[in-house]
Structure formats: C-alpha cells, structure tokens
C-alpha cells in the first residue's frame, strides 16, 4: 500500500513541528467547513418553504446529530490506531482498523436508520410546535435514509487522516457539497421532472451526497486491501475491533453526552426570549469560523502524537502537542480580537435590528474571552486521545460541560435574569476548567508510559 502521507518522520525543530501540524490540519479544517456549508445550503433552500419548515428542519438537525455523535466519536479510534500503526512502520495495519470501524459503522448506521423512520414520539415528548412536527419527521427520515453509509464515511475519513492523508477526504467533501447543492435544489422544488419532496428533498440530497462520498473512499480502501502485502503480524479482526473500541467508545460517549448537554443548554435558552435565542444562533454561527479550525488542529494533534508514540518517542509526541497548542492558541486568539473589537460590524451582516446587534456584540465579547481557553482545551483533548489516555479526558469533558454549561444557562440566564449573555458565561467556566485540568494531565506525563509498552504486543490498549 502506498500511503499518501504528507508527514515527515521527525520534526527537527519547533518550526518544523508547527509546519507538520498545519500541513495536516488545514485540509481537515476545509472539510469541516465544507460539512457546515452543506447544512447552510440546505437551510437556505428550505427557508423558502416557510417558517414552520425551517423550524422543523432545525429541530430534526439537532436530533440527527444526537444520533450520529456517538458513532462519529467511536470512529476516532480508527484514526488513533492507524496513526500508531504508521509510527510503528506498520501503516498497512490501518486497513484492518478501518475494516473494524466500518463494521461498527454499518451496524450503528442500520440502528439509526431504523430508529429514525418515525420520530413523532420524540418530537411530542420535546413539546415541539405541532406545526413543525411533520416537517421535522419528514426531514429526519430522509436525512437518515443512507445512515449506514454516513457512518461508514466517518470511519473511512478517520482512517485516511490517521495515515496522514487529510487532503483526499477534503477533496471528496468539497465535491460532495456540489452534489448536495444540485440535488437539494432539484428535489426540494421538483425540477427536471423529479418529484417535489420539500424538506425531505433537502435531507435526501445530503444523504445521497454522503453516500457517494462513502463509496468513493470505500473504493480506495478496497484497492489498498487487495494490494496489501502478506503480514503475519497484522491484527486479527477481533484485536482490531478491540483496539478501536478502547479508544473510540469513551470518545463516543463523550461526544454523545456533550451533545446532550448542549441540547439542554439550548432548551433552557429558549426561555430567555426570542432576541436572546436569535443572538445565540448568530453568534454561534460566527464563532464556528474559529472553532472548526481549532478542531482541525486537535485532530492533527491526535495523529501526530499517536504516530510519535507508535515510534516509541514520547518527547516527539510532547513536541507535537505543544506545537499544536501554539498553532491553535495563536489562531483563536486572533479570532478573539476580531470578535471583541469587531462584534458590532459582524452582527450587522446578519441583522439590522439594534437590540439584536447589541446582544450579538456582547456575546462575541464573551466568546473572545473563552477563545484561547477553548483552543487549548480542544487540542489537549486531541493530544490525550492520540496518546490513548482517553477515559480521563472523556470524563473531564463530560463533567465540565454538564457542570458549567446547562447550569450557567439556568442560573445566570434564567434565574438571575442575565439573559443569553449570562448563559454564555458557562462557556468560560467549561473551557477554563477543562484547559487547566487537561494541561495538568498532559504535563503530569501519565501517557508517556504507553510508549514503553512493547510495540509487537499492541494488545495493551
């Protein structure tokens, strides 16, 4: 197998380490922004169908992400295992971890497909406006039509990134955006003789685009699998599955419970008034421009730390983690300055309502405060995941978000009457506590012991 690895074996200096981080991270950032753009296109096209349709799609999108979050987290195990294998000069073992992830993904996707056929019971339980329920039910059923392929796509993207190839998934994601936009426009409105599906057309278009992306990456895996060299040391199917789950299951639980916490935060926020909710949505859309690149740097750190530990070089892993920290903090601090001093200008791009502009501006000032903390927290989680120190990091992430975020929304936002700005103060607490404890965990060096385990016996996961 010829690995499309854009990574050099060693980083001889801090500048080289930062260069490696950026080389791997920027395509991931572009792909993540592409995923976001896919959702924005759907929202824009559905907007013409009316407020109830738009609201229903918004609710269904949250429920859809709740279903997928755990699976996407578990698939991070494929990335870490593949990166360690690459560091051990056993890059083809990544094919086995991808196969294990694919099996899990297809099973989980089938379960999601079955559960999402009719979510009326969940929508009623959440007291969703009855006028929006038909739209939410229709969109979610269509969006999860190819759920097994959506989950498979996640597994294969993690495999490619784990072996150092973040550009192929990026290119496939961007081409998928074009497919999604064309299909959504066609299916929503019934152009070219196609049936007029409304909101279901938007969901089906995204499902088809993701399915095509999954099949394209599958063809790469199949080709590499056929050309792999015989290797008696390759992990068995059960061993590969066990190793993927050892890293992925704690991460998946973290992703799922964090998503639930944010959903609870959003539900509490719904009691502070329409202006506050609208300002929250606008500010959230704005800070994604800094958050997603930060996530990309974190994913890069997972790969580079895992690869270094696969070689048995904990000092190199530490150098990569610190380089990723510097990259993320520098970028997010810059974004924070823009948010702090340009919040009003940014808000005017979205609205001309003076009260809404002022609320968005204040939220972006709060965001400017937690930007650096968020960058540090995200990257350190990725580094610890790459070092396979996942349980502690997952527990911390779950505890921090549930303690600070819904709690702040209830106490400051609702009970004390500080509104959405008070609710957002919880993000400062979550990111501050998280960054401090994750930094303590990293510098304590427990993860270094993992590099001393015999590489020939990789069962100590």
Please list the pLDDT of the chain residue by residue as tens digits (461 residues). Answer: 444 444 455 555 678 889 999 999 999 999 999 888 888 788 778 877 887 887 788 888 888 988 899 999 999 999 999 999 999 989 899 999 999 999 999 999 999 999 999 888 888 887 777 888 899 899 999 999 999 999 999 999 999 999 999 999 999 999 999 999 999 999 999 888 888 899 999 999 999 999 999 999 999 999 999 998 888 888 999 999 999 999 999 999 999 999 999 888 888 887 777 778 778 878 888 888 888 999 999 999 999 999 999 998 999 999 999 999 999 999 999 999 999 999 999 988 878 888 889 999 999 999 999 989 999 999 999 999 999 999 988 999 999 999 999 998 899 988 888 988 999 999 999 999 999 999 999 999 888 886 555 544 444 45
Give the CB-side neighbour count of residue 25, counting CA atoms within 13 A. 28
Cβ proximity of 300 and 32 under 8 Å: no
- Give the pLDDT of residue 451: 59
Of 411, 398, 408, 407, the residue nearest 437 (C-alpha)? 398
| The predicted structure's pLDDT at residue 11 | 52
Domain residue spans in the chain? 11-249, 270-461
d(CA 345, CA 343): 5
Question: 84 and 456 in contact (C-beta within 8 Å)?
Answer: no
d(CA 258, CA 168): 29
- pLDDT for position 454: 53
Distances from the Cα of 138 to the Cαs of 67, 266, 430, in angstroms?
16, 23, 35
Distance (Å, whole) CA 34 – CA 453: 39
Per-residue burial over 99-110, b = 16 or more CB atoms within 10 Å of its CB, e = otherwise: bbbbbbbbebbe
Distance CA 342, CA 259 (A): 29
Task: Return all residues near 12 (Cβ < 8 A) that are at least 6 apart.
Answer: none
CB 424 within 8 A of CB 339: no
The closest alpha carbon to 401, from 295, 249, 259, belongs to 259
Go through the chain and tell me how many residues it has. 461
Burial-class residue 175 by CB neighbours within 10 Å (0-12, 13-18, 19+): middle
Return the number of other C-beta atoms located less than 10 Å from residue 245's C-beta: 17
Residue pointed to by tokens 């704005």:
286
pLDDT at residue 453 in the model: 59
């Amino acid at each position: 197998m010829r690995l499309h690895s854009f990574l050099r074996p060693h980083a001889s200096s801090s500048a080289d380490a930062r260069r490696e981080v950026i080389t791997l991270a920027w395509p991931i950032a572009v792909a993540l922004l592409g995923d976001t753009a896919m959702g924005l296109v759907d929202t824009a096209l559905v907007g013409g169908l009316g407020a109830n349709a738009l609201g229903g799609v918004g609710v269904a999108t949250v429920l859809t992400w709740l279903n997928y979050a755990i699976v996407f987290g578990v698939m991070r195990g494929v990335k870490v295992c593949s990166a360690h294998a690459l560091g051990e000069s056993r890059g083809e073992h990544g094919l086995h971890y991808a196969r294990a992830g694919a099996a899990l993904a297809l099973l989980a996707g089938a379960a999601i497909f079955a559960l999402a056929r009719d979510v009326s019971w969940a929508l009623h339980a959440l007291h969703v406006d009855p006028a929006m329920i038909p739209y939410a039910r229709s969109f979610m059923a269509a969006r999860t039509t190819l759920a097994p392929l959506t989950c498979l796509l996640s597994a294969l993207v993690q495999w490619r990134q784990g072996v150092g190839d973040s550009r192929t998934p990026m290119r496939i994601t961007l081409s998928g955006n074009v497919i999604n936009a064309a299909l959504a426009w066609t299916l929503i409105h019934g152009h070219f003789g196609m049936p007029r599906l409304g909101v279901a057309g938007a969901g089906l278009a995204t499902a088809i685009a993701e399915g095509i992306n999954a099949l394209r990456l599958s063809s790469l895996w199949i080709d590499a699998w056929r050309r792999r060299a015989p290797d008696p040391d390759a992990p068995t199917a059960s061993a590969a599955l066990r190793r993927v789950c050892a890293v992925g299951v704690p991460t998946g639980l973290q992703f799922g419970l964090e998503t639930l916490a944010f959903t609870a935060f959003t539900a509490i926020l719904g009691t502070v008034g329409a202006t506050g909710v609208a300002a929250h949505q606008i500010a959230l859309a704005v800070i994604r421009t800094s958050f997603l690149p930060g996530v990309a740097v974190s994913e890069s750190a997972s790969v580079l730390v895992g690869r270094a530990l696969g070689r048995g070089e904990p000092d190199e892993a530490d150098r990569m983690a610190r380089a990723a920290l510097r990259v993320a903090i520098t970028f997010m601090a810059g974004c924070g300055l823009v948010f702090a001093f340009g919040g009003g200008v940014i808000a005017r791009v979205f609205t001309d309502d003076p009260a809404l502009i002022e609320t968005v501006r204040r939220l972006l000032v709060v965001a400017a405060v937690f930007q650096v903390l968020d960058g540090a927290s995200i990257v350190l989680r990725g580094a610890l995941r790459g070092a396979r120190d996942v349980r502690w990091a997952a527990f911390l992430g779950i505890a921090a978000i549930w303690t600070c975020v819904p709690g702040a929304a209830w106490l400051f936002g609702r009970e004390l009457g500080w509104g959405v700005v008070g609710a957002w103060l919880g993000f400062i607490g979550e990111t501050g506590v998280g960054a401090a404890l994750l930094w303590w965990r990293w510098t304590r060096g427990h993860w270094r012991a993992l590099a001393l385990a015999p590489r020939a016996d990789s069962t100590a996961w």
